[in-house]
């Protein structure tokens, strides 16, 4: 295990009827900007609960943050927040609203201009951010307990991760009952995204980090166990609670301490979303099984461990490696999520566009920094 330093300051408030605790967790007298997406919060009663809990606070609203939040939309919220001199931001919705809120939080006090380059692409080490909290309504991204976000740009069809230690939420409220209204496709996406987050931090090479490995295996097994249940009935409180907490710990930093991580699947996936608008989780499913096959020599030891520990399989090493790929593919497919990019009409033209982008950016992803433009081309070709 490598050296590590760890601090995660996010206060998690988990459970039924916890939205009412908002007022205790926002500084008294704060002027609050409430951010939200396309309107799901009006249909499922979450907006009403938030408004009731914020009685006594001055509140302004910014809605319309889209899935894969765009710089163009978010800059309008930044202008509003600056003009209104807000003190606190409350994100109400899924990962996109929260990621967008992280950008807004960094951009409002930023005086250096060019927020795309400075904040999204990270050219500036900004020193301050507007404090924010979250009411999360979709288990998937882990954004509620990490300091990262992913922002898209309509104009250029780009999508980039950003982050800063300043961008941890002050608190995140996770009430599993808010997820009962999710469309099935978003439940499937959430399961697939959280599953892939663990895989990106676990399926690398062994460094004898027992806690991290066993924890990662526990999160994967939990997701595998609850998946068919929540796909069947998303109003079972216990199952949705387990799903929601699993998605949080999949990307809150615990399982990545002192271990290598991959993230190539996510980076390639972001390009597929940026170019074709495919849901984030769905892009991961068309990359990871092929990346596993492409990197099966490098990842062999962990793939064997994964087959044995997560899927309880036995066999020769080669059989277990093959089974690891097969089980991963079947997991995505069991959620109704295709594992071939060709299912979305993606072909050679997109492969070449991504290859060109990665060549220009000189990327080297993966735990061994060996997933470059040529490797990406090979992986994507296996998917079309
Ligand atoms: O916009 P509204 O109307 O709220 O509807 C949303 C949206 O259409 C809907 N929804 C959310 N909660 C609901 C609901 N509908 C009914 N009932 C509810 N309770 O679901 C749709 C998708 O929402 P979105 O926020 O886009 O989904 P998700 O949470 O999966 O977030 C995806 C974004 O997060 C980024 C992705 O790249 C993508 O942009 N990620 C962020 C990460 C992070 N910050 O650490 C890591 C991830 O790997 C991921 O990249
Ligand atoms: Zn993800």
The ipTM estimated for the assembled molecules is: 0.99
Question: For residue 271, what are its two tokens?
Answer: 């390009």
Ligand 1 center to 186 CA (angstroms): 8
Nearest ligand by distance to the CA of 279: 1
Q: Is 14 in a helix, a strand, or coil?
A: strand
Residues in the chain with pLDDT values less than 70: none
pLDDT of res. 161: 97
Q: β-strands 158-163, 148-153: how paired?
A: antiparallel
Instruction: Among 44, 96, 120, 198, name the best residue to mutate to test ligand 1's pocket (greatest count of ligand atoms within 8 A of Cβ).
Output: 96
Within the chain, residue ranges assigned H as helices are 22-25, 40-43, 46-53, 71-84, 95-107, 115, 184-202, 210-232, 237-249, 264-276, 280-285, 288-294, 300-309, 317-334, 348-361, 373-383
Max Cα distance, the chain (Å): 65
- Identify the residue whose C-alpha is closest to ligand 1 atom 43: 143
In contact, 93 and 120? CB cutoff 8 Å: no
Ligand 1 center to 96 CA (angstroms): 5
pLDDT of res. 30: 98
Nearest ligand by distance to the CA of 280: 1
pLDDT of res. 231: 98
Ligand 2 center to 280 CA (angstroms): 7
Ligand 1 center to 179 CA (angstroms): 12
In contact, 83 and 92? CB cutoff 8 Å: no
pLDDT of res. 115: 98
Protein residues with CB under 6 Å of any ligand 1 atom: 37-41, 44, 67-68, 93-97, 99, 137-138, 140-143, 146, 148-150, 178-179, 181-182, 186, 189, 193, 251, 266, 280
- Identify the residue whose C-alpha is closest to ligand 1 atom 46: 141
The 8-class DSSP code of residue 19 comes to G
Residues near 48 by Cβ (< 8 Å), separated by ≥ 6?
none
pLDDT of res. 337: 98
- Taking the C-alpha atoms of residue 144 and residue 6, their distance in angstroms, rounded to an integer, is 17
pLDDT of res. 97: 98
Instruction: Among 149, 164, 186, 266, name the best residue to mutate to test ligand 1's pocket (greatest count of ligand atoms within 8 A of Cβ).
Output: 186
pTM: 0.98
- Taking the C-alpha atoms of residue 118 and residue 78, their distance in angstroms, rounded to an integer, is 14
353-379 confidence digits (pLDDT tens): 999 999 999 999 999 999 999 999 999
Ligand 2 center to 192 CA (angstroms): 8
In contact, 57 and 30? CB cutoff 8 Å: yes
DSSP 34-69: EEE-SSHHHHSSHHHHHHHHTTTSEEEEE--PPSS-
């Amino acid at each position: 295990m490598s050296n590590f330093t760890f601090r995660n300051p996010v206060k998690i408030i988990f459970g039924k009827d916890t939205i009412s605790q908002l007022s205790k967790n926002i500084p008294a007298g704060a002027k609050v900007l409430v951010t939200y997406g396309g309107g799901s919060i009006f249909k499922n009663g979450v907006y009403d609960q938030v408004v009731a809990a914020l009685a006594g606070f001055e509140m302004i609203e910014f809605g319309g943050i889209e899935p894969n939040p765009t710089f163009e939309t978010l800059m309008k919220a930044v202008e509003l927040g600056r003009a209104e001199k807000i003190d606190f931001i409350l994100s109400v919705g899924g990962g996109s609203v929260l990621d967008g809120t992280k950008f807004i939080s960094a951009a409002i006090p930023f005086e250096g201009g060019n927020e795309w380059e400075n904040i999204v692409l990270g050219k500036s080490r900004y020193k301050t951010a507007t404090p924010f909290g979250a009411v999360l309504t979709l288990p998937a991204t882990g954004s509620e307990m990490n300091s990262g976000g992913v922002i898209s740009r309509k104009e250029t069809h780009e999508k980039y991760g950003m982050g800063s230690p300043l961008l941890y939420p002050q608190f995140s409220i996770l009430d599993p009952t808010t997820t009962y209204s999710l469309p099935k496709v978003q439940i499937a996406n959430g399961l697939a995204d959280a599953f892939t987050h663990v895989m990106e931090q676990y399926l690398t090479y062994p460094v004898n980090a027992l806690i991290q490995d066993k924890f990662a295996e526990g999160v994967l097994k939990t997701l595998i166990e609850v998946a068919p249940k929540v796909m069947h009935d998303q109003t079972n409180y216990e199952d949705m609670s387990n799903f929601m907490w699993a998605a949080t710990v999949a990307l809150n930093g615990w399982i990545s301490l002192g271990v290598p991580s991959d993230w190539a699947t996510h980076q390639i996936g972001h390009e597929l979303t940026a170019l074709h608008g495919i849901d984030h989780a769905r892009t991961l499913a068309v990359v990871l099984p092929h990346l596993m096959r492409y990197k099966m020599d490098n990842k062999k030891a962990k793939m064997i461990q994964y087959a044995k520990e997560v899927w309880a399989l036995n066999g020769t090493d080669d059989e277990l490696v093959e089974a690891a790929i097969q089980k991963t593919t079947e997991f995505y497919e069991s959620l109704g999520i295709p594992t071939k990019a060709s299912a979305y009409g993606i072909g050679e033209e997109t492969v070449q566009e991504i290859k060109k982008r990665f060549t220009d950016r000189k990327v080297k992803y993966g735990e061994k920094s060996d997933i470059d433009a040529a490797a990406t081309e090979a992986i994507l070709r296996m998917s079309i």
